[in-house]
Amino acid sequence: DAKTTQPPSMDCAEGRAANLPCNHSTISGNEYVYWYRQIHSQGPQYIIHGLKNNETNEMASLIITEDRKSSTLILPHATLRDTAVYYCIVRVAQGAQKLVFGQGTRLTINP
Amino acid sequence: GAGVSQSPRYKVAKRGQDVALRCDPISGHVSLFWYQQALGQGPEFLTYFQNEAQLDKSGLPSDRFFAERPEGSVSTLKIQRTQQEDSAVYLCASSLPGLVNEQFFGPGTRLTVL
């Protein structure tokens, strides 16, 4: 699986959009970008995934650059409950695949 | 509906003791994963089951670690002769095969070895 690079920490004001970047310059053509988050004392939680098109669901939006070497997870209106560690993971989608977590980005939402 | 459950939530063991950690996956989920998460680090893969078959155990750190899923549902991770470096949160996840392959995680078991 391709390696990802994320900033170790970020801050965002409550109610503002939180934009979390991820670099994955060695991504292969059949690899998807997945995002998970882990709230303190809980297991990781799936957020969203995409291949090359931008994706949106009830939790977040995922913007993938045209060359697929980087992506941004957007939480449009961050709340205090969005404070967590966010992991960007690159992997093939087909078949059951283990997740390879990096260090992630610790996002703190400030009141 | 019920999610993935794990027990116990917390376990304190003396060095050298054996421990058994239980995972109840979401009903019907074929795939089951175990991960180990050290303090301040991301989770690291230990082993993977498809039904009762253990298809990947490449992440198990030593032969003191053993996992089983005899009936393709509940799984147990056993650590023999625990060492201080085994102290971590042990996470279990389950999933259905498919394009999304979303893994659903339990709350984890925090193991402290004294």
Interface test with B, best of A98, A101, A106 (most B CBs within 10 A): A98
What φ, ψ does residue B95 adopt, rounded to 5°? Answer: -155, 160
Tell me which of A15-24, B22-31, B100-109 is least confident: B100-109
Residue in the structure block whose two tokens are 């961050």: A78
Q: What is the predicted pLDDT for the residue at A79? A: 97
At A73, the amino acid letter reads L
Residue in the structure block whose two tokens are 């390879």: A100
Q: Which two tokens stand for residue B31?
A: 């795939």
Interface test with A, best of B6, B51, B105, B110 (most A CBs within 10 A): B105
Of A42, A93, A104, the CB nearest to B101: A93
What φ, ψ does residue B35 adopt, rounded to 5°? Answer: -130, 155
For residue B43, what pLDDT band results from cuts at 50, 70 and 90?
Answer: very high
Of B48, B106, B107, the CB nearest to A98: B48
Q: With an 8 Å Cβ cutoff, is A87 touching chain B?
A: yes
pLDDT at B1 over 80: no
For residue B96, what pLDDT band results from cuts at 50, 70 and 90?
Answer: confident
Cβ contacts of A43 on chain B, cutoff 8 Å: 4, 91, 93, 105-108
Q: Which two tokens stand for residue A68?
A: 């697929």
Inter-chain CB pairs, A–B, below 8 Å:
58
Q: How far apart are CA A60 and CA A43, in angstroms?
A: 19
Q: Which two tokens stand for residue B89?
A: 């949160």
Q: By C-alpha distance, which of B114, B111, B112, B107 is closest to B6?
A: B107
The count of other CB atoms within 10 Å of the CB of residue B28 is 8
**Could you tell me if residue B100 is left (phi over 0), alpha (psi between -120 and 50 degrees) or otherwise beta?**
alpha
For B34, which residue in chain A has the nearest alpha carbon? Answer: A98
Q: Which two tokens stand for residue B3?
A: 């999610």
Helix (H, G, I), strand (E, B) or coil at A82: helix
Q: With an 8 Å Cβ cutoff, is A102 touching chain B?
A: yes
Q: What is the pLDDT along chain A (111 residues), one digit of tens a residue?
A: 668 999 999 999 999 999 999 999 999 988 999 999 999 999 999 999 999 989 999 999 999 999 999 999 999 999 999 999 999 999 887 666 889 999 999 999 999
Of B31, B104, B106, the CB nearest to A96: B31
Using an 8 Å Cβ cutoff, are B75 and B23 in contact?
Answer: yes
Q: Do residue A103 and residue B42 have CB atoms under 8 angstroms apart?
A: yes
User: Between the CA of residue A19 and those of A35, A41, A56, A73, A83, what are the distances in Å?
Assistant: 13, 23, 14, 6, 13
- B110 or B1, greater pLDDT: B110
Cβ contacts of A30 on chain B, cutoff 8 Å: none
Q: By C-alpha distance, which of A88, A57, A51 is closest to A72?
A: A88
